[in-house]
Amino acid sequence: MPRIQLRITGDRDVFDDVINAIHGLDRIEYVEEIDDFGSDIRDDSSSLDLSDDVASRTYTVEIEVPNDKVGERVREVAEETAGTREAAIEFVYPDENEI
């Protein structure tokens, strides 16, 4: 079964809205938040904790779907929901070695 992993940068409310929208779709196998311990670590400490950085955080979620058609619908809904809340969304494609 195809798995979709996505990251959302924004506040917790935006992330929860995206998760709720995905849960509202038919035929979703599971949706699981993934702890991404490296997401809070910045390579450039010169801008660490500036006011622009403090308000948002990156959240990662993994979704399992039965087929590519449902997966495409998940991507559409996630992108639309995050976009209406002006949050950044990134679709993470697994390394071929992990499949």
pLDDT of residue 49: 53
Domain, as residue range, for 34: 16-61+70-98
Per-residue DSSP letters for the chain?
A: --EEEEEEEE-HHHHHHHHHHHHTSTT--EEEEE--GGGG--S-GGGTT-HHHHT-EEEEEEEE-SSHHHHHHHHHHHHHHHHHTT-EEEEEPPPGGG-
pLDDT of residue 54: 54
Helices 12-23 and 68-84 cross at an angle (nearest 10°) of 150
Within a domain: 44: yes
Q: Tell me: the pLDDT tens digits for 11-35?
A: 999 999 999 999 999 999 999 999 8
Within a domain: 3: no
Distance CA 95, CA 80 (A): 26
Within a domain: 40: yes
pLDDT of residue 35: 80
Within a domain: 77: yes
Within a domain: 38: yes
Which residues in the chain land under pLDDT 50?
39-42, 51, 96-97, 99
pLDDT of residue 37: 52
Average pLDDT in the chain? 83
As for how many domains the chain has, the answer is 1
